[in-house]
Structure 1
């Protein structure tokens, strides 16, 4: 018995005959899934901006990258222990000349929900939007601030 090189059937027949070019891999590669198709601030998941969360003794700080929006474009709600952030923005422009009409429009939106820890004061959550970054400050409850981790000795 001898080994024979396996050749996949190519969708365009002999148009692409190189062993180095594989049409199926071309459509499955990172260029289409993550590369130039997505904006750099999106978190690799379609429709979700990147997020940073920091914790210190007194509070949590959350930063959400959302460039290109204005304060009025955001809707922020707290519902059933979740912080829900959504934003929508649309623009349209029309220019009419004697023999043509030019129209341009754009629409972008996102939604993001974060489950809040039980030790956060929901009524004191503050938000600020500056330079494309939506920032939140979540104050911890007093008993959570005082609690220190217990050290367990190994026997």
Structure 2
């Protein structure tokens, strides 16, 4: 008699043990996982008393590749980069086409001043400065104790 250890973390493999393991091994392969992780760049969002700052890590692109759109309270950052590499002297034995695209959307808070949004791209970092409205800026003052 053979004992099969039951793992409650793995579901749906009661009927076909090992079936899900095949898909997990294929999908966790570095080829697939690297492509999945690289498709959407990382973002940092910070806040000061005067503005919000969005920093998006997208090295290897040019500022011409980016599109930043504002529709109502939704800020959308997208890019599309295609490299054909058309060379007349085809001396390579293997070459893979390069295509990358992504879209990230952010809902802006009501306190953001959408008329004064600024963006810059330096050293692989897309920086978007979202100033706050004057009435939304935090007012701090010292309160005297009587």
TM-score, length-scaled by structure 2: 0.72
Q: Secondary structure at the match of 1:146?
A: coil
Matching of residues 70-149 of structure 1 within 5 Å: 70-96=62-88, 104-147=96-139
Pairs aligned (count):
131
Number of the residue aligned with 1:32: 27
Identify the structure with bigger relative contact order (alpha carbons < 8 Å, sequence gap 6+): 2
Alpha-carbon spacing, 1:98–1:109, altered in 2? closer, same or farther (3 Å): closer
Deviation at 1:97, TM superposition (A): 5.7
Q: Provide structure 1 residue ranges, at least 5 long, that are not aligned to the other structure.
A: 11-21, 149-155
C-alpha RMSD over aligned residues: 3.4
Of residues 3, 6, 31, the one that matches 1:5 is 3
Unpaired runs of 5+ residues, structure 2, are 6-13, 141-146
The TM-score normalised by the length of structure 1 is: 0.68
| 1:104 Cα offset (Å) | 4.8
1:92 touches 1:104 (CA, 8 Å); kept in 2?
no
- Counterpart CA distance in 2 for 1:99 and 1:145 is 60
Structure 1 CA distance, aligned partners of 2:55 and 2:135? 25
